[in-house]
Chain A
């Protein structure tokens, strides 16, 4: 078993299973079929909702026949998982509206949880899967249709919609800073917004607000934030939209410990700490990492040996650049590399410098580029590999 495990894995796992042509044809046929079905289904869902509303005649009836419900909004946005989440017991429905300055804002509902959407949001390269999703409808009170999201007019009158936590300064803690985003579409002249951000149900004992203000950002003039009580209220003198709702989330969902941890992480992120999201495993180093940390030009020959056939003498060109290539028997290598000699050897005195290295993590795949500046100004280049001892490898311990 002397074969390199990387090489073996690559060869053994070469994609070699091709789908039958009939399977591909089937996929394409179903895709075409599905396009037609989606249109019909949307229409039917709206009709069923209207019929149910007439029978119930409840206080929320206006919302049920006039607006899409949150599950339908998720469906319109092709998010099946979220569509299902909005039909589950954790979903909260509000169906409350507020009017100001020619607009009617309706908070339709909200749902929160882990992995409840088909779409994954990312923050700093990390998947964010514990989220709260909230749906609002925005419309003109005079019935003028809202501009379609694909039109040039869309965004001319922007709205900033976000959840807020009672007691946390809304100008700091909102959708923009809590890894949020939103999707929107216009149907029957009404704009529907599905916004998502970090799950703040852990703050349920404090109280959660949903606000919609004019503009692209949180507007400190739209609301009054009482720093003593943590309460937010609408500013009656504000010239614009400043809807503010309370989201009735069960206080039993509060998790003070998680909330404290979240705030700690939030602070770190805001302060630019590079310790964020770093788990113990993040910090785990490979054999090669540890080896290279300890390898120096002085102990190079003790722990590594040159691959003889990669040795070459490079003469700097008129610009002081050297070119070097190497290729190992296993195919690893570098072609057409060029570098200025004075970048490697700033004082241009004879020395040995360990350059770049590559490895899949294990010592047996580690290749180290080594440059030696000679008295005559030439540079001797070679690839070194660790001397792997069967019983002990002191440099990695």
Chain B
């Protein structure tokens, strides 16, 4: 991969990767680090790597691996600081353009709750959900990234959705 190719990849996939990093790290500074390290790692291994086939999948593989390393390293620090940061940091408003103001509030609340619940999921459920819904990667690619059989990814997605559905129903029932 040439320097110019790296530029193109950042331009094409930067937003997708950054959204993943922001969600998974909860914190802008850590997200910046993970984002930066992912692209630098990609650039480092460029000579040994053929990534033309599915660059996004390859980028996400690197990012998930780096994230897992970060998590191991920061486990102690996170325990001391009281665990994971609030997802409020990342609660950007997403609402359909044609929604009315009142509807928008309900939608925002739904999204906020949903993101908060996703955030509480263990990684084994959270990562498939993010890779499938946020990164829109096919199951076969997710299975490679997470080093799991496709059937397991499918099952985890299904279970994660059931958990989220139940949680949201509870939240809205209250």
Partners in one complex: yes
**A residues engaging B (CB < 8 A)?**
1, 3, 5-6, 8-19, 23-24, 26-28, 30-32, 34-35, 38, 77-80, 118-120, 122, 125-127, 129, 183, 277-279, 281-284, 286-287, 360-362
Would you call A17 and B110 a contact (CB within 8 A)? no
User: Known: A1-B169, A27-B10. Contact between A17 and B15, CB under 8 A?
Assistant: yes
Would you call B151 and A31 a contact (CB within 8 A)? no
Which one, A34, A118, A281, contacts B152 given CB within 8 A? A281
- Closest-by-CB residue of A relative to B134 is A13
Which of A11, A129, A279 has the largest number of chain B CB atoms within 10 A? A11
User: Known: A9-B161, A362-B161. Contact between A15 and B19, CB under 8 A?
Assistant: yes
B60 → A minimal CB distance (Å):
12
A-B CB contact pairs (8 Å), 10 listed: A5-B165, A6-B133, A9-B161, A15-B16, A16-B19, A17-B19, A31-B6, A120-B144, A126-B147, A360-B157
Which one, A12, A183, A286, contacts B114 given CB within 8 A? A12
B70-108 near A? 1/0 per residue, CB < 8 Å? 000000000000000000001010101000000000000
Would you call A28 and B161 a contact (CB within 8 A)? no
B121-151 near A? 1/0 per residue, CB < 8 Å? 0000000011001110000100110011111
Q: Check: B47 CB closer than 8 A to any chain A CB.
A: yes
Would you call A31 and B40 a contact (CB within 8 A)? yes
B45 → A minimal CB distance (Å):
5
Q: Check: B120 CB closer than 8 A to any chain A CB.
A: no
User: Known: A1-B168, A18-B18. Contact between A279 and B92, CB under 8 A?
Assistant: no
Would you call B19 and A23 a contact (CB within 8 A)? no
Complex Cα gap A286–B139 (Å)? 14
**Given contacts A15-B15, A78-B44, could you give 14 more A-B pairs where the C-beta distance is less than 8 Å?**
A8-B168, A9-B114, A15-B19, A15-B135, A17-B90, A26-B36, A78-B48, A122-B144, A125-B150, A127-B147, A278-B149, A281-B149, A360-B158, A362-B161
B2-25 near A? 1/0 per residue, CB < 8 Å? 010011001000111011101100
B4 → A minimal CB distance (Å):
10
A264 → B minimal CB distance (Å):
18
Would you call B40 and A30 a contact (CB within 8 A)? yes
Complex Cα gap A127–B65 (Å)? 13
B159 → A minimal CB distance (Å):
9
User: Known: A15-B20, A282-B149. Contact between A34 and B158, CB under 8 A?
Assistant: no
Complex Cα gap A79–B43 (Å)? 12
User: Known: A18-B18, A31-B3. Contact between A12 and B111, CB under 8 A?
Assistant: yes
Complex Cα gap A279–B61 (Å)? 23
B19 → A minimal CB distance (Å):
4
B11 → A minimal CB distance (Å):
8
Would you call B10 and A24 a contact (CB within 8 A)? yes
Complex Cα gap A12–B147 (Å)? 26
Q: Check: B59 CB closer than 8 A to any chain A CB.
A: no
**Chain A residues positioned under 8 Å from B144 (CB to CB):** 120, 122, 125, 127
Complex Cα gap A23–B28 (Å)? 11
B95 → A minimal CB distance (Å):
9
Would you call B48 and A77 a contact (CB within 8 A)? yes
Which one, B22, B43, B147, contacts A17 given CB within 8 A? B22
Which of B61, B149, B162 has the largest number of chain A CB atoms within 10 A? B149
